[in-house]
Amino acid sequence: MTRSELFAQIKAKSSYLCVGLDTDIQKIPPSLRNEPDPIFAFNRAIIEATQAYAVAYKPNLAFYEALGPKGWESLQKTLEIIPKECFTIADAKRGDIGNTSGLYARAFFDKSASGLDFDSVTVAPYMGEDSVKPFLAFPGKWVILLALTSNVGSSDFQRLEVVKNAEVPHARALFEQVLMTSQNWGSHDQLMYVVGATRADQLQRIRELAPEHFLLVPGVGAQGGSLEEVSRYGMNRQCGLLVNSSRAIIYASSGADFAERAADEARKVQQEMAGYLETYL
Amino acid sequence: MTRSELFAQIKAKSSYLCVGLDTDIQKIPPSLRNEPDPIFAFNRAIIEATQAYAVAYKPNLAFYEALGPKGWESLQKTLEIIPKECFTIADAKRGDIGNTSGLYARAFFDKSASGLDFDSVTVAPYMGEDSVKPFLAFPGKWVILLALTSNVGSSDFQRLEVVKNAEVPHARALFEQVLMTSQNWGSHDQLMYVVGATRADQLQRIRELAPEHFLLVPGVGAQGGSLEEVSRYGMNRQCGLLVNSSRAIIYASSGADFAERAADEARKVQQEMAGYLETYL
């Protein structure tokens, strides 16, 4: 999917909501447990209920891997029923040396090899350029590189100040260096960033360093970030935001009305987003 | 597997060789292509041929994921035939927020969930403590944390100098900070490091920071590091080394004699290691 196709969808739906498919077999309604593939049945109901309000879906790979080969089958089937206009994200946080990353890219982008054909994959930056480039070699596909995550552990390394060399006048945080260095690897038509920032000053600083890129923002919803702040300080001329919500939508109810309640929650977020698109775009 | 069990095996086999199962469907001998599961057939032959010389096996997850659900089935079957005394490493380089890492841990450690029961998994440090701890919560299991990798991209971030705070008298490299910070998360009975270092000065510095830990060293063999240097400067009182070789062993021949030639290569490395254990242990 191209950047302009993504933006067109955002305008059409007045939404930049990404629904995270963190589907946990232990949390889905008991009524689905007798389905031949309960994970897929849950995802299908969630996707049908929310597709009018969401522009992207993000399966979290861990939830599928934890179920072994049948989890990968549920993932395949799920990906096939996501409407073609929606942007799909394999939240896999992969990253390895070049030839190995090339195989991970095939795992998520090459349907003839793995059965999967995502639009994008999340990638960890620690191993550097050659761990990211093989994903960027797939035309029409995207890398969403971890820059700043929203968890407590993000302060262990991501926020450390780094000194690139003696000529750098003052230190910057590692995640800022990731934002800067990685822009040499690919354009903003194939590279996005995971940015778990919800504070105005953080978002402004990130937009200084990456004005044009799409940002995938987790941590709004169950994790408690402010959608208003993210939208005001993170939006750019082509929206430039995908804001993820997982649990707050997909587990809005644990009963038989889970899909209906998911739709309600997704609609609420979409309506709030419609207002921000009016105001800040 | 405990540290002392691993050390006992190292002494029994006079070896600290890890064989990397980077099994590529496009590189295995044509004679195996008609097997019902060619990847498994290849791995079985390699494991049978090398198990007298290797103390560990390390499937590289990307190679299996690239094949979709059937790749995961080949991986399951492979893991089941690795001799119980051998240490098994899921080279997966995972890492996510806490609850997601918990599911990745189940994917690799909890056979009842995923069908897999590895002794250890490689984990990327970028997301910090809460991304690593869920793996450490599994008794008897190990995290092998990426510290310094051997690829070109390791200089992009891992070797950047970091300033932790004003009290740090002089900057250290990010990978050194990873070695230091992560030692607060678990003991050397559950935590190892990936260290792609082959130069004497690097290894000495790493042993200053992590004297007791096992190090998983890639890049010896096809990638050209010196086993002598690694052994002389990296070995500690309990050996403390697992040295990986993948392609140089498993693809020693592309013909029908591939297993025999893999055994020859593994034996050569083991014999060299036996000498270093005599000299440096």
Contact A113 B66 (CB under 8 A): yes
User: For residue A171, what pLDDT is reported?
Assistant: 72
Does residue A1 have a pLDDT over 70?
yes
Does residue A168 have a pLDDT over 70?
no
The number of C-beta contacts closer than 8 angstroms across A and B is 210
Pick A69's closest partner by Cβ from B73, B149, B154: B73
Does residue A268 have a pLDDT over 90?
yes
User: For residue A163, what pLDDT is reported?
Assistant: 79
Asked about A11 being catalytic, the answer comes back as no
Q: Please name the residues between 18 and 77 in chain A that touch chain B, using a CB distance below 8 Å.
A: 22, 24, 60, 62-63, 65-73, 76
User: For residue A72, what pLDDT is reported?
Assistant: 96
What is the C-alpha separation between B200 and B38, in angstroms, rounded? 41
**One-character DSSP codes across chain B:** --HHHHHHHHHHHT--EEEEE---TTTS-GGGTTSSSHHHHHHHHHHHHHTTT-SEEEEBHHHHHTTTHHHHHHHHHHHHHS-TTSEEEEEEEE--SHHHHHHHHHHHH-HHHHS---SEEEE--TT-HHHHHHHHTSTT-EEEEEEE-SSGGGGTTTTSEEE--TT-SS-EEHHHHHHHHHTTTS-TTTEEEEE---SHHHHHHHHHH-SSS-EEE--BSTT-B-HHHHHHHH-BTTB-EEEEE-HHHHTS-SSTTHHHHHHHHHHHHHHHHHHHHHHH-
In the predicted model, residues of chain B with pLDDT beneath 70 are 164-170, 219, 221-225
Q: Please name the residues between 86 and 115 in chain B that touch chain A, using a CB distance below 8 Å.
A: 91, 93-98, 100-101, 103-104, 106-107, 110, 113-115
What is the C-alpha separation between B75 and B78, in angstroms, rounded? 5
Pick B94's closest partner by Cβ from A93, A128, A153: A93
A258 phi, psi to nearest 5 deg:
-60, -40
Does residue A224 have a pLDDT over 90?
no
Does residue A18 have a pLDDT over 60?
yes
Q: Among A3-12, A30-39, A129-138, B165-174, which stretch is predicted with the lowest mean pLDDT?
A: B165-174
Given the residues A27, A77, A93, A111, the one annotated as active site: A93
Please tell me the distance in Å from B8's CA to the nearest CA on chain A.
31
pLDDT tens by residue, A44-79: 999 999 999 999 999 999 999 999 999 999 999 999
- Percent of chain A past pLDDT 70, that is, above it, reads 95
pLDDT tens by residue, A172-211: 899 999 999 999 999 999 999 999 987 888 899 999 999 9
**Domains, chain A, ordered by start:** 3-280 (3.20.20.70)
A80 touches chain B (CB under 8 A): no
More confident call, B200 vs A1: A1
Q: What is the CA radius of gyration of chain B?
A: 18
Residue numbers in B near A63 (CB within 8 A): 100, 103
What tokens appear for A162 in the block?
A: 């780094």
pLDDT tens by residue, B143-191: 999 999 989 999 999 999 997 655 555 679 999 999 999 999 999 999 9
* 3-class SS string, A139-184: CCCEEEEEEECCCHHHHCCCCCEEECCCCCCCCEEHHHHHHHHHCC
Interface ipTM above 0.90: yes
